[in-house]
């Protein structure tokens, strides 16, 4: 992909950057990835004249376009001010609905107590959602056995179909700890399913680093080398597909592709393995109901290899990603940008980025032949 294809705009520009040339390039790349993996190829090439009736459809259905409130956390938590920028749940959610978002993923349930003279309740948040035609599609809560039923109570009050966390099931590098986490999550996932919800975990890049599962052992009897299996993919294999689901953070997936490329095998030899976020999902697409549609510009001078941008303003090819994984009605895309808040100097920045990111998400399209 050349520079012109990767960078057709600069962060903050209001116009969508998804040109026909970029879409067609993405389509060709997606077909190559699918074909190499033995997966079905979606048809999104330029329609040929006289070759049937072609329609253009949104790649991410309107009802599945969401936002995690962490992206606008500065305005959710803001005290009443004279900036003219919305603050608190009632005003911010109304603005997000005006922008076009249909779904909300929560990152906590608190706002500034001065708005109501007390803390808002889940029942009051649910009314705000309903009044604005919004649906709660998930949350980043603390998932543990002691408080899980209380978290399910809140999720049920808010009408969620998914309940999750922004943390890994374990921070360990060792197989035994991931085995224990899988046992716990299978049980909690069963409890969630009993209440008609799906339990999910959200990744950062470390989750796709290599598991330490091979000898020799250290002084504590722990493995020091790897078979080349990645931690979260091991967890996927150990958990029951009926009970445990995943939210791919696409940005952190590409950071993992950049950072976690080498491991030392049991014989002490260095091996290279490149992580592919697209194929990780495409091979088990129904285990990923949710995504963080988080974009970034490639910058290899940075430790992570990318720096975050509004959606559609970076180098990550969302057209290729969502086209390749298929199942558009099943998948829900939540825009996220950790760095969206502009602070006191620009209190409206996070909501401005939310507007730009929604427009770029809506402009992702696919051709179909009827």
With CA atoms as reference, report the closest residue to 144 among 108, 196, 181, 176. 181
Regarding pTM above 0.85, the answer is yes
Residue 201's nearest CA partner among 165, 171, 152, 173 is 165
Which domains does the chain possess?
3-369 (3.20.20.150)
Q: Count the helices and strands in the chain (H runs, E runs).
A: 12, 16
pLDDT score of 54: 76
What integer pLDDT is reported at residue 43 of this predicted model? 43
The candidate with the shortest Cα–Cα distance to 207, out of 282, 309, 280, is 280
Reduced to 3 states (helix: H, G, I; strand: E, B; else coil), residue 154 is helix
Q: Residue 86: how many CB atoms within 10 A of its CB?
A: 21
Angle at 185 between CA 180 and CA 190, to 5 degrees: 135
Distance CA 342, CA 310 (A): 13
Q: Which residues contact 357 (CB under 8 A, 6 or more apart)?
A: 67, 293, 295, 310, 311, 312, 335, 337
Q: Burial-class residue 276 by CB neighbours within 10 Å (0-12, 13-18, 19+).
A: middle
> Rounded to 5 degrees, what are φ and ψ at 85?
-95, 135
By the 8 A CB rule, do 140 and 68 touch? yes
pLDDT tens-digit profile, the chain (370 residues):
333 333 333 333 333 343 333 433 444 455 555 555 555 444 444 445 456 677 889 999 999 999 999 999 999 999 999 999 999 999 999 999 999 999 999 999 999 999 999 999 999 999 999 999 999 999 999 999 999 999 999 999 999 999 999 999 999 999 999 999 999 999 999 999 999 999 999 999 999 999 999 989 999 999 999 999 999 999 999 999 999 999 999 999 999 999 999 999 999 999 999 999 999 999 999 999 999 999 999 999 999 999 999 999 999 999 999 999 999 999 999 999 999 999 999 999 999 999 999 999 999 998 877 6
The whole-angstrom separation of Cα 226 and Cα 230 is: 9
In angstroms, the CA 77 to CA 224 distance is 44
Q: How many CA atoms lie within 13 A of 209 on its CB side?
A: 14
Instruction: Provide the token pair at 130.
Output: 């309903």
pLDDT of residue 56: 87
CA 93, 366, 160, 280 dihedral sign is: negative
């Amino acid at each position: 992909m050349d520079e012109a294809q990767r960078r057709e705009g600069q962060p903050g520009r209001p116009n969508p950057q998804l040109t026909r040339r970029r879409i067609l390039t993405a389509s060709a790349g997606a077909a190559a990835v699918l074909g190499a993996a033995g997966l079905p190829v979606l048809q999104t090439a330029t329609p040929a004249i006289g070759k049937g009736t072609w329609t253009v459809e949104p790649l991410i259905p309107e009802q599945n376009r969401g936002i995690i409130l962490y992206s606008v956390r500065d305005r959710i938590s803001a005290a009443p001010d004279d900036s003219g920028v919305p603050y608190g749940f009632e005003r911010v959610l109304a603005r997000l609905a005006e922008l076009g978002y249909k779904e909300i993923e929560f990152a906590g349930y608190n706002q500034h107590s001065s708005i109501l003279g007390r803390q808002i309740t889940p029942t009051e948040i649910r009314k705000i959602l309903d009044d604005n035609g919004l649906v709660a599609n998930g949350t980043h809560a603390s998932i543990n056995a002691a408080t899980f039923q209380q978290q399910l109570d809140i999720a049920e009050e808010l009408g969620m179909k998914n309940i999750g966390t922004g943390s890994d099931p374990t921070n360990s590098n060792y197989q035994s700890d991931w085995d224990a986490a899988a046992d716990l999550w299978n049980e909690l996932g069963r409890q969630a399913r009993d209440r008609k919800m799906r339990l999910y975990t959200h990744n950062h890049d470390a989750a796709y680093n290599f598991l330490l599962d091979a000898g020799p052992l250290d002084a504590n009897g722990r493995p020091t080398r790897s078979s080349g299996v990645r931690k979260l993919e091991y967890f996927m294999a150990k958990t029951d597909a009926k009970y445990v689901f995943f939210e791919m953070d696409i940005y952190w997936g590409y950071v993992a592709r950049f950072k976690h490329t080498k491991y030392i095998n049991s014989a002490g030899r260095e091996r290279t393995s490149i992580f592919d976020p697209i194929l990780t999902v495409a091979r088990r697409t129904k285990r990923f109901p949710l995504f963080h549609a988080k974009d970034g510009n490639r910058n290899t001078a940075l430790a992570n290899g990318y720096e975050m941008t509004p959606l559609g303003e970076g180098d990550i090819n969302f057209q290729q990603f969502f086209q390749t994984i298929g199942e558009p009605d099943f998948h829900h895309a939540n825009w996220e940008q950790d760095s969206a808040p502009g602070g006191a100097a620009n209190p409206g920045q996070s909501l401005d980025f939310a507007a730009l990111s929604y427009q770029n998400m809506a402009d992702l399209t696919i051709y179909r032949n009827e």
